[in-house]
């Protein structure tokens, strides 16, 4: 898998958020996106997922363009911004419902994903009773449970205790060894330095390699 971003620009109401971004993401690598809050990282990740259309430029997955006409790349698992689930359902049941859409992840994969993020013992707890960190963990579990080729995580470690962060980072390194592309954003550079092969810095609409 190769993701190529060419001359990407995104603006909202004549305000340029991303300006002429050119990046490449390759199999078996972990990429970090660094920058202050509001620097365009989340917008960029939404573009990668096909949730936004670019103002101009292209994003190609193995030379195919997905981000037009609501055509979403089918091999991406993503957590972007705050995870949203049904408040009156358990964490497990929420993942089970999502898994039923694509029919890719089975019960064992769901439980394994919850185990990776240290949420297995809270699987039957109602989502509305989850703490901020637990909600974040469930979002990560949702992103990884279908064993996708590309994993996109937006500020994934917010509110999560250190022991679980270490376990999740170890799992992301395992995904890298399996040849996956992992892309994660953070405004905390140490989170990225520890596991990323390349880090891109977002500032005032421009993106440069650190």
Strand 29-34 to strand 181-186: parallel, antiparallel, or no bridges (unpaired)? parallel
Report domain extents, the chain: 1-75+150-210, 84-148
pLDDT at residue 57, as a whole number: 95
- For the four alpha carbons of 14, 19, 24 and 25, in that order, the dihedral sign comes to negative
Confidence of residue 68 (pLDDT cuts 50, 70, 90): low
pLDDT at residue 83, as a whole number: 81
Instruction: Dump pLDDT digits (tens) for 78-100.
Output: 999 888 899 999 999 999 999 99
Q: How far apart (Å, rounded) are the C-alpha atoms in residues 105 and 145?
A: 6
pLDDT at residue 37, as a whole number: 83
pLDDT at residue 70, as a whole number: 60
Q: How far apart (Å, rounded) are the C-alpha atoms in residues 62 and 60?
A: 6
* CA-based nearest residue to 8, from 50, 76, 45, 55: 55
- Evaluate if residue 147 carries a pLDDT over 90: yes
- Evaluate if residue 200 carries a pLDDT over 70: yes
Confidence of residue 74 (pLDDT cuts 50, 70, 90): confident
The per-residue pLDDT of the chain, averaged, comes to: 94
Give CA 101 to chain center in angstroms. 19
- Evaluate if residue 69 carries a pLDDT over 70: no
CATH number of 1-75+150-210: 3.40.50.300
């Amino acid at each position: 898998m190769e993701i190529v971003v060419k001359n990407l620009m995104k603006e909202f109401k004549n305000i340029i958020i991303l300006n002429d971004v050119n990046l490449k993401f390759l199999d078996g690598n972990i990429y970090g996106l660094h920058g202050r809050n509001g620097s365009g990282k989340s917008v960029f990740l939404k573009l990668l997922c096909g949730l936004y259309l670019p103002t101009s430029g292209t994003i190609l997955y193995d030379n195919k363009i997905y981000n037009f006409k609501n055509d979403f790349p089918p091999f991406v698992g993503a957590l972007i911004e705050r995870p949203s689930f049904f408040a009156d359902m358990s964490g497990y049941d929420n993942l089970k419902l999502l898994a039923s859409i694509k029919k890719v992840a089975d019960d064992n994969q769901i439980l394994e994903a919850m185990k990776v993020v240290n949420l297995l013992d809270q699987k039957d707890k109602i989502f509305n009773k989850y703490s901020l960190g637990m909600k974040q963990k469930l979002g990560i579990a949702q992103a990884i449970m279908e064993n996708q080729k590309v994993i996109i995580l937006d500020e994934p470690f917010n509110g999560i205790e250190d022991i679980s962060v270490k376990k999740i980072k170890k799992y992301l390194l395992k995904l890298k060894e399996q040849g996956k592309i992992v892309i994660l954003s953070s405004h905390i550079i140490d989170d990225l330095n520890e596991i990323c092969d390349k880090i891109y810095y977002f500032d005032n609409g421009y993106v440069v390699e650190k």
